[in-house]
């Protein structure tokens, strides 16, 4: 029986979740002390299974058969790291990952005492030890990265020893490297008009130089080592090269921006164009929302940031731009207003009005079944906003409680037009939320105003009965039910439901679009009498109310000519938006 056959007879234990291990190869061949071309003599690998005789590893780098290795890993149900000396006995390409190799490693026994060190950055070597790996994978930034992307990123990170007094980031230099501080402290300062201004002190666990990965712009401050330091560095070029293969790493960029906006450090720039970010207030599947402030008008705003895995996907980024363009054209009391759009930090920001209140889904979480008069109030407002959007040729496509915001005064506003598209469009991007999705969306047919009406009917069913109409334990079955089965009669749960509301829910949710209401104005016509009986005072907004803004300029006579030209240019621009400018001259003030 040969050795390989004997090895394969050892019982193998497949690990339910591959763990990250550290390999220090002792390279064989004519130059046994050589390191790989990238200078890295540490490999981060995934431990797939193990037996009494060895390990099966997955590595991004191929090692020659007979290469001696020292391996650190944490065995199942063990808390301490174990060190082993072994030899690569076979290697082959991974059948599931084109850029990875499988390595069969045979044990020789425990690693030598010299190789059982747990930490230590060695000059001229990119060597990582267990305590270093523990530190890195437990930093908040790396925690967000999926397991399959951790090794590619960590294999590129380089340790550096920085002596006390060394300036490792200089104001004005090209920013191309980002650092995570493992040990030591440093001080951040800026030089202005020949004077140094101290800003803050950074220590273990902090990050510095993150703007390098986000923009590559010149450094805005100096960073000097206050004590001896250990840093882990990553360049923009290295990061971009692995992101092309592992798009999950783009979550790392999103967390960098979030860290920059939410850190307490005074060095972090929180400015997006004319807006200052104050705090993170929401996370969605493809965006984050911050509360901010217009820096000169002191006006609160909401700032939506597209996550980087989406922003760097050309197709989806175009959809995100589409939301801004679409909603910027809509001016209605029941639709959130968009003020601006900015591109920065390799992503896109939409600046919107800041709304005081809560999304309807949070209202339903605390009060699952709403009073009938409140249901009618919300429905009429949403219909009012949808009618306006539909008149502009826009279908929302994702009407649900999470996209209806209820303000403190009871006014409802529709948000998230990110899936919006013209009527009659087929496959207009991402589907809506499956619980409220229309049959035509599920089947991939064209959508129009009646698609929003169906979703509105499902939402009304939930508001009146306290639950959604179909079982939700199987999403595939749920989608099938939307297509093949009418919703249950809401009166089986709410026997005293008013006729008008019961009729609306049943007709709005017909599987055949032709059997539904033709427009939301029809719904308003049918529901308004019932709302009037219950004292719901809010009426449909039949036309847009005009508003007025006052601006006073105090100037000297010799400035008159310049101001006339400025006002003429301003008048020309606002006229393009349909805004009328009236000017009154006052001779003496």
Q: What band does 427 get if pLDDT is binned at 50, 70 and 90? A: very low
CA distance 235 to 216: 10
Which pLDDT band holds residue 215 (cuts at 50, 70, 90)?
confident
Query: To 10 degrees, what angle do helices 449-465 and 520-533 make?
Result: 30
Q: Which residue has the tokens 């169906």?
A: 454
Distance of CA 523 to the CA centre of its chain: 36
Quote the CA–CA distance of 280 and 270 in Å, as a whole number.
11
Same domain as 247, residue 144: yes
E strands, 138-194, are 158-162, 167-169, 177-183, 186-192
Q: Considering the domain boundaries, does residue 467 fall inside one? A: yes
Structure confidence at residue 543 (pLDDT): 45
Both 488 and 392 in one domain: the answer is yes
Q: Which of 130-139, 202-211, 215-224, 559-568 has the lowest mean pLDDT?
A: 559-568
Structural domain includes residue 383: yes
User: pLDDT band at residue 36, thresholds of 50, 70 and 90?
Assistant: very low
Top pLDDT among 90 and 3 is at: 90
Q: What is the DSSP secondary-structure string of 67-136?
A: -EEEEEE--TT--S-EEEEEEEEEEEE-SS-TT-EEEEEEEEEEPPGGGG----PPTT-----HHHHHHH
Kindly calculate the radius of gyration of the chain based on its CA atoms and give it in whole angstroms.
31
pLDDT the model gives residue 588: 63
Question: For residue 585, is it within any domain?
Answer: no
- What angle is formed at CA 476 by the lines to CA 473 and CA 478, rounded to 5 degrees? 60
* DSSP assignments along 423-449, one per residue: TTBSS-SS---GGG--HHHHHT--B-H
- Final residue belonging to a domain, choices 213, 241, 262: 262
- H-only helix segments in 138-243: 140-143, 147-154, 211-214, 236-243
pLDDT at 76: 65
Q: Distance (Å, rounded) from C-alpha 128 to C-alpha 133? A: 7
- Domain check: are 517 and 404 in the same one? yes
* Of 3-7, 126-130, 430-434, 467-471, highest mean pLDDT: 467-471
Query: 569 exposed, middle or buried (CB, 10 Å; 0-12, 13-18, 19+)?
Result: exposed
Structure confidence at residue 37 as a pLDDT band (50, 70, 90): very low
Alpha helices, H only, 145-184: 147-154
Question: Mean pLDDT, the chain, as a whole number?
Answer: 82
Domain hosting residue 230, numbered range: 137-262
Q: What is the CATH number of the domain that holds 67?
A: 2.40.10.220
Among residues 467, 531, 525, which one has the least CA distance to residue 498?
A: 531
Q: What does the pLDDT average to over 515-539?
A: 91
Examine the domain organization and report whether 393 and 440 are in the same domain. Answer: yes
Report if residue 141 sits inside a domain: yes
3-state secondary structure of 378: helix
Q: What contacts 24+ positions apart, CB below 8 Å, involve 195-202?
A: 196/222, 199/266, 199/267, 200/265, 200/266, 200/267, 201/226, 202/265
Residue 457 lies in a domain: yes
| Residues whose CB falls within 8 Å of the CB of residue 22, separated by 6 or more in sequence, listed in order | 42, 43, 44, 45, 71, 72, 73, 128, 129, 130, 133
Whether residues 108 and 200 fall in one domain: no
Same domain, 520 and 371: yes
Average pLDDT over residues 467-477: 91
Given its phi and psi angles, is residue 461 left (phi above 0), alpha (psi -120 to 50 degrees) or beta?
alpha
For residues 221-236, give the mean pLDDT: 93
pLDDT tens, position by position, 267-318: 445 788 889 888 888 887 778 888 999 988 889 999 988 887 777 777 777 7
For residues 72 and 84, what is the distance between their CA atoms, to the nearest angstrom? Answer: 6
E strand or H helix at 166:
none
Q: Based on the domain organization, do 524 and 389 belong to the same domain?
A: yes
Alpha carbon of 333 to those of 27, 166, 301, 521: distances in Å?
Answer: 70, 57, 16, 16
DSSP code of residue 199: E
Same domain, 28 and 157: no
Q: Quote the CA–CA distance of 337 and 324 in Å, as a whole number.
A: 10
Domain-ending residue, one of 245, 262, 279: 262
Count of domains observed in the chain: 3
- CATH number for the domain harbouring residue 194: 2.60.120.10
**Secondary structure, 3-state, 518-555:** CCHHHHHHHHHHHHHHCCCCCCCCCCCCCCCCCCCCCC
- What are the pLDDT digits (tens) for 48-65? 888 878 889 999 888 989
Q: Are the C-beta atoms of residues 533 and 556 closer than 8 Å to each other?
A: no
Q: Tell me the two tokens of residue 217.
A: 């712009």
Shared domain check, 473 and 504: yes
Task: Specify the higher pLDDT residue, 477 or 33.
Answer: 477
* Domain assignment present for 483: yes
Percent of the chain at pLDDT exceeding 70: 82
**Region 403-408 average pLDDT:** 94
Stretch 61-90: mean pLDDT, rounded? 85
pLDDT, residue 230, reads: 94
Average pLDDT over residues 134-147: 83
In a domain, 290, yes or no: no
398 and 522 belong to one structural domain: yes
Alpha carbons within 13 angstroms on the beta-carbon side of residue 61 total 23
Q: 552 — phi, psi (to 5°)?
A: -110, 130
Tell me if residue 379 falls in helix, strand or coil: helix
Instruction: Say if 69 falls within a structural domain.
Output: yes
On whether the CB atoms of residues 353 and 333 are closer than 8 A, the answer is: no
In this structure, the answer to whether residues 154 and 59 fall within a common structural domain is no
The predicted pLDDT at position 34 comes to 45
Measured CA distances, 461 to 403, 469, 510 (Å): 16, 7, 13
| Average of per-residue pLDDT across 342-349 | 83
Residue 535 burial by CB count (10 A; 0-12/13-18/19+): exposed, middle or buried? exposed
Give the pLDDT confidence of 371-396 residue by residue, as tens digits.
999 999 999 999 999 999 999 888 89
Q: Which of 83, 116, 149 is the last residue of a domain?
A: 116
Residue 562 CA: distances (Å) to CA of 125, 565, 583: 65, 5, 16
Residue 489 sits in the same domain as residue 453: yes
Residue 72 and residue 22 in contact, taking contact as beta carbons nearer than 8 Å: yes
* CATH for 376: 1.10.510.10
């Amino acid at each position: 029986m040969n050795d390989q056959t004997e090895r394969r007879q050892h019982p193998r234990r497949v690990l339910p979740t591959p763990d990250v291990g550290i390999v220090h190869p002792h390279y064989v061949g004519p130059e046994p002390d050589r390191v790989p071309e990238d200078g890295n003599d540490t490999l981060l690998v995934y431990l797939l299974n193990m037996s009494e005789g060895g390990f099966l590893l997955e590595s991004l780098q191929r090692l020659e058969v007979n290469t001696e290795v020292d391996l650190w890993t944490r065995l199942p149900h063990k808390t301490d790291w174990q060190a082993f000396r072994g030899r690569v006995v076979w290697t082959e390409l991974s059948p599931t990952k084109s850029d990875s190799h499988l390595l069969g490693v045979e044990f020789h026994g425990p690693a030598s005492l010299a190789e059982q060190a747990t930490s230590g950055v060695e000059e001229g070597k990119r060597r990582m030890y267990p305590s270093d790996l523990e530190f890195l994978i437990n930093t908040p930034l790396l925690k967000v990265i999926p397991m399959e992307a951790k090794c590619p990123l960590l294999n590129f990170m380089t340790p550096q020893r920085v002596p006390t007094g060394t300036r490792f980031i200089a104001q004005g230099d090209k920013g191309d490297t980002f650092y995570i501080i493992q040990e030591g402290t440093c001080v951040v300062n800026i030089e202005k008009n020949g004077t140094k201004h101290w800003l803050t002190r950074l220590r273990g666990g902090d990050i510095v130089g993150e703007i390098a990965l986000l923009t590559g712009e010149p450094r805005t401050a100096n960073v000097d080592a206050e004590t001896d330091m250990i840093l882990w560095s990553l360049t923009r070029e290295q990061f971009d090269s692995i992101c092309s293969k592992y798009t999950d790493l783009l979550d790392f960029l999103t967390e960098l921006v979030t860290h920059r906006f939410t850190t307490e450090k005074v060095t972090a720039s929180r400015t997006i164009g004319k807006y200052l970010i104050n705090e993170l207030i929401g996370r969605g599947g493809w965006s984050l929302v911050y509360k901010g402030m217009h820096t000169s008008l002191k006006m609160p705003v909401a700032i939506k940031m597209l996550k980087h895995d989406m922003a760097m996907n050309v197709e989806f980024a175009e959809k995100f731009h589409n939301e801004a363009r679409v909603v910027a054209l809509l001016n209605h009391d029941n639709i959130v207003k968009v003020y601006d759009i900015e591109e920065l930090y390799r992503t896109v920001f939409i600046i919107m009005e800041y709304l005081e209140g809560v999304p309807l889904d949070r209202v339903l979480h605390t009060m699952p079944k709403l009073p009938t008069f409140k249901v009618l109030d919300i429905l009429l407002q949403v219909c009012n906003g949808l009618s306006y959007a539909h008149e502009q040729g826009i279908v929302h496509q994702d009407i649900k409680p999470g996209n209806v915001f209820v303000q403190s005064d009871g006014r409802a506003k529709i948000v998230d037009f990110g899936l919006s598209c013209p009527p009659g469009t087929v496959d207009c991007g991402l589907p809506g939320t499956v619980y409220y999705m229309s049959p035509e969306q599920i089947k991939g047919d064209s959508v129009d105003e009646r698609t929003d009406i169906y979703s509105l009917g499902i939402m009304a069913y939930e508001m009146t009965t306290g639950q959604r109409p179909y079982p939700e334990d199987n999403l595939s079955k749920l989608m099938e039910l939307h297509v093949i089965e009418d919703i249950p009669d809401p009166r089986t749960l709410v026997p005293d439901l008013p006729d008008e509301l019961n009729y609306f829910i049943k007709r709005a949710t017909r599987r055949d679009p032709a059997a539904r209401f033709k427009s939301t104005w029809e719904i308003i016509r049918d529901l308004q009498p019932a709302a009037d009986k219950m004292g719901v005072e809010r009426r449909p907004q039949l036309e847009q109310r005009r508003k007025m803004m006052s601006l006073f300029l105090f100037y000297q006579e010799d400035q008159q000519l310049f101001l006339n030209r400025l006002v003429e240019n301003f008048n020309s621009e606002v006229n393009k938006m349909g805004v009328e400018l009236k000017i009154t001259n006052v001779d003496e003030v």
